[in-house]
């Protein structure tokens, strides 16, 4: 739990407001001898001085069963509840600050893994159900996707992965628009297809220092007139330091660029948007299960042809704790 200062709690282009912020985060993990794993991760942020909060709760259950010496089957369930202050809503960009969006989703994956020497292969099918509501939008999404991937582990320090997936989505309630951005029908269904390519790698520099990087590309087609057609590029880097003299640290950075080439550009109808998100964390262990942490977050988001949507700095300090037990059967 921690608190600090927020330079732009409303995510407005002119950053006209300042405020404080309170953050609470937690994680719970359970593993049984029958290869069933449960994990719950959540966080919540409340703006102090402004009316706004956001948070997320994820509950993951996984079952993995050995079928042959090198073949495993697995089933994974992910349930998520998220409330976000966003400048993206109803397929459009907001140019006067963020609104609150709430999202409830359920994902179920069934597949298999096969290991052969330095390669791991995996694939399977997944269903996705998503309900989103906010000040401007309310829609229901059902999707089904197929995915396949391979991981290469040339040494104990290095691992690289490639993964491809295709998802077909049916969206009820997301407004179809003409290429100028105006709505053209009320409450229809949209058919959206998403191709996704993911490249990622992880390298352990020393026993206590790890580096990771990733790149995602998504190609989207809306099956109507092309308003939601586009491509998205996402880059991620991460550096983590395990406890060294009671200190641990993590630095992550993410860059995202999305383009919608068929849209007619105007100040209220964006043809592309981009964003940068950087998070730096350091923690000092005070006692066995108690620590002091420092967190800095920088966000910068802009679009074309409007320009800057918002820039935000958050600096936070707080305390961390651990509670755990080991049960042997």
pLDDT attached to residue 326: 43
pLDDT attached to residue 329: 42
pLDDT attached to residue 136: 66
- Model confidence pTM above 0.85: yes
pLDDT per position as a tens digit, 229-273: 999 999 999 999 988 888 999 999 999 999 999 999 988 888 999
Instruction: Calculate mean pLDDT across residues 51-77.
Output: 93
263/278 Cα distance (integer angstroms): 30
Residue 183: DSSP 8-state: B
pLDDT per position as a tens digit, 191-239: 899 999 999 999 999 999 999 999 999 999 987 788 889 999 999 999 9
pLDDT attached to residue 325: 45
End-to-end CA distance of the chain: 34
Domains in the chain and their CATH numbers?
Answer: 2-321 (2.40.160)
pLDDT attached to residue 14: 87
Beta strands in the chain (DSSP E): 2-6, 19-31, 36-48, 53-68, 71-86, 88-89, 92-93, 99-116, 119-134, 138-152, 158-172, 189-206, 209-221, 230-244, 247-259, 272-287, 290-304, 307-321
Instruction: Calculate mean pLDDT across residues 40-58.
Output: 89
Residue 149 predicted with pLDDT over 90: yes
């Amino acid at each position: 739990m921690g608190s600090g200062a927020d330079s732009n709690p409303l995510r407005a282009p002119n950053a006209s407001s300042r405020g404080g912020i309170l953050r609470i985060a937690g994680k719970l993990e359970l593993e049984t001898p029958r290869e069933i794993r449960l994990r719950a991760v959540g966080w919540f942020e409340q703006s102090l001085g402004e009316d706004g909060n956001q948070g997320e709760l994820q509950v993951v259950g996984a079952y993995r069963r050995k079928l042959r010496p090198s073949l495993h089957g697995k089933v994974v369930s992910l349930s998520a509840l998220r409330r976000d202050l966003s400048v993206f809503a109803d397929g459009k960009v907001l140019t006067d600050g963020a609104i609150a969006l709430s999202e409830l989703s359920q994902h179920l994956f069934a597949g298999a893994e096969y290991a052969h020497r330095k390669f791991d292969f995996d694939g399977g099918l997944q269903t996705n159900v998503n309900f989103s509501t906010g000040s401007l939008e309310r829609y229901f999404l059902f999707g089904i996707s197929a995915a396949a991937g391979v991981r290469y582990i040339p040494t104990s320090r290095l691992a690289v992965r490639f993964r491809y997936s295709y998802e077909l989505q049916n969206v009820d309630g997301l407004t179809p628009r003409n290429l100028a951005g105006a709505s053209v029908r009320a409450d229809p269904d949209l058919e959206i297809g998403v191709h996704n390519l993911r490249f990622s790698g992880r390298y352990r520099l020393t026993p206590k220092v790890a580096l990771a990087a990733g790149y995602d590309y998504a190609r989207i087609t809306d099956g109507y007139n092309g308003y939601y057609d586009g491509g998205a590029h996402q880059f991620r880097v991460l550096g983590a330091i395990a406890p060294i003299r009671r200190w641990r640290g993590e630095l992550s950075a993410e860059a995202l660029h999305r383009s919608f080439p068929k849209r007619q550009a105007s100040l209220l109808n964006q043809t592309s948007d981009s964003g940068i998100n950087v998070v730096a964390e350091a923690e000092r262990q005070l006692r066995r299960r108690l620590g002091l942490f420092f967190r800095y977050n920088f966000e910068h988001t802009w679009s074309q042809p409007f320009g800057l949507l918002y820039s935000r700095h958050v600096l936070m300090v707080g305390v961390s704790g651990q509670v755990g037990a080991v049960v042997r059967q």
